[in-house]
Chain A
Amino acid sequence: MNRLTKATYVYWLLVMINFVSVMFNVSLYLLITSYISKKNLSLYLLQQLQVIPGNFRLLFWVVFVLFGCLVTVIYLRRTSTNKKTNKLLWLELLLIVLIFWLTKATYGGLVFLAFADIFFSTDDFHTISNKFYWLIFIIVASVCLLVSNSNFLATLISLPSLEIYISFLPSHVATLLSLMRLFLFIISIVIFTLALFTHVVYITNEKRNIEEELRMADHANVELQHYISVAEENAELRERKRISREIHDTLGHALTGISAGIDAVLVLIDMDKDSAKEQLRNLSEVVRQGIVDVRKSLNKMRPGALEKLSLYDSIVDMISRYDNIPTLTIDLDFQWQGVDLEKTTENVVFRIIEESITNSIRHGHAEKIWIRMTKDDKYYYIEIHDNGKGSPTIKPGFGLTQMQERLAIIGGTVTYQGDHGFTTKIKFIIKN
């Protein structure tokens, strides 16, 4: 709205000039009538008119009030933002027609006001590009302009023509008044043109601004993508380092200790059986400690959510992270109540679901994702289905390969289906 100020100013100027012109014309009727009465020219006037003049004093005030209503409606329509404005537009056009009619079609400039209203209230220029729409608009506009000429209108219906009234005045006054009327009309045309021009300039600017912003957003998008891949690489690298450090710190230490211990046992076993046994007990302790360490390390690699929450809660938590995508709904059907899985298995399951959702959004552009987690006597089943683009031929990339590898750890299988969205079906055996 603020950026429309220039066009708005010109529009209000157009409204004002229309008000001045309309009241000027009605006042002329009023004043010339009293002039004619004073000069006793009434009969002569009636002989030239086609129809009796109405009550101009009343007309003056009626038109004044109606114009007030019109201005109020225009103001309401232009300040309100909701969709009701269309009804107000019709009310506005109705008022304009009424004023035009009441003022005996003396001022054709009102047509421009009506045009401006229609034109400015059409924000959607895509529908206007429709040729049929333009044809209708041009025809209606031409007819209105033609009809707004009181001389033409007088041939169709009886009107007390203002020209006849003016012709009763002394010729120099009559000429002056006719010139003034013409001047007001021309002014209104000029302002109308200006209003249209500023409006079109505004619309064009708006379009260019949007394009510019889109281009900038595009650019930022590319940069972000780049950043993501770099970040991913970094994360992978960091993870690798961490894993190697973990292995080095835990398994490495343990294995080194074990190997040294075994060497010692090899020597001791012949000399002192008891010491060798003692040593083996120690070694066993080291191995157990190693296992604890390895488990600790593995725990560190588990998703953060799973560390504190149950599998169900962590999946729900993960899904809730997509709440900020308004076009996406994820439907979870969790039937694994009371299932106690190993940490590793939970880990794999969580990662697979996470990966599938990511794929559905990234590659399938899905708007709805269904996750069903069921089981029977022998197997656990996970089915992830989306309404996205799907993929007729499936080429397993890094993600899918990793998924298969992960599943292999827990002895599960995966199948894909790429028509009618994308469906991932997973099953793995229930361990006793």
Chain B
Amino acid sequence: MDRPLRLITANPVDQLARTLEALLVVASAPLSIDELAQAAADDAERVELALGLLGDRYREGRSGIVLEHVAGGYAFRASREAAEACDRLFERPVERGLSQAALETLSIVAYLGPCSRPEIARIRGVAADSAVAGLLERGLIAEAGREDAPGGAVRYRTTPLFERVFGLESAAALPRLDDLGDTAEELRERLHSVAVGKTA
């Protein structure tokens, strides 16, 4: 046999996949398909194909690096197997030690944002200054303009880092607000029954 037998045929998007791999390695934030296509000077459809190839190559159990679809883009992360080692390397990830107040503030911004500190305080019933400052410092929320009124308060929105930290593909991956908690009607009835029970 004078010609070596080729068992695996080269995938037509293999070259593109290698380019995307390189792009994802140098990026510090998730890259959208459009951004990848633009940087690779290729078309979005082929980029998606190549990402499929990479997704299979970089997956849990197969590689120490995992490709994930997060925060509206694609990014590499460490495999979960390596979590302990990463934990020893990282001094303080963004999400460590988030207080209850910070989480409540974060949910308000995530669901109702952009919204201002007074709006957050109104819902939570306590001033939101320190919680907002903490979230800003961690980069989970960012300023997003001001309220319309003159001298309007600064408004905040969640950042792509928020989606990334919580492993959300996008903000739409949050549970529907209507599915959480009681409705006003249910609460009103409960309040009513307490009031009646007391006077009875």
A binds B: no
Interface residues of A (CB under 8 A from B): none
Please list the residues of chain B having a beta carbon within 8 angstroms of any beta carbon in chain A.
none
